[in-house]
Structure 1
Amino acid sequence: MKRKAKKGDALLELLKVFLENPGLSFSRKILQKKIRKTVRTTNYNLRRLMKSGIIRREGSILYTLSERYYLKFVNNGGKRI
């Protein structure tokens, strides 16, 4: 039986992965395995995080910028800062 995620879950799971491993960078494939979501959701959420300035991307490698941004992002209800 497949586990159905609640809406908005994937985004927070993605953030958690980044914040639990500060200083580490991830490729998309690894992230997808970690949060067990489809390619489409992962890409969509990554774009949202990149727009809000939490994640920076160089080529296919992604890494976090700061926790301050993360807190603003969460307090803002996941909308662009």
Structure 2
Amino acid sequence: MEKLITKKSDLETFELIVKILLHSFDTKFTEKLDGPDQSYYDFILDNTKYTLHREHYTGISIISDSKNNDFELIVKEISNQISI
């Protein structure tokens, strides 16, 4: 499952989302892959693996195999914080 957080794909917005995940959700990133147009940051939260994905043409999203309510809450909380 993939959920779009924002259509913005700039590095500043991506780094803001990383900070939100680190501080609001107390996550730790397990792997980071950066390219000129894409970034993939894997993290684990409550024993579930997620990937924060930045794609130049589509925006920033979170990917996970999880279909639980936590996934929706994470996306909603991040969206609320970046719209401030």
* Range into which the TM-score falls when normalised by the shorter chain: 0.3 to 0.5
* TM-score, normalised relative to structure 2: 0.33
Of Structure 1 and Structure 2, the greater strand share is in 2
Higher normalized contact order (CA 8 Å, seq sep 6+, divided by chain length)? 2
Of Structure 1 and Structure 2, the greater helix share is in 1
* TM-score, normalised relative to structure 1: 0.34
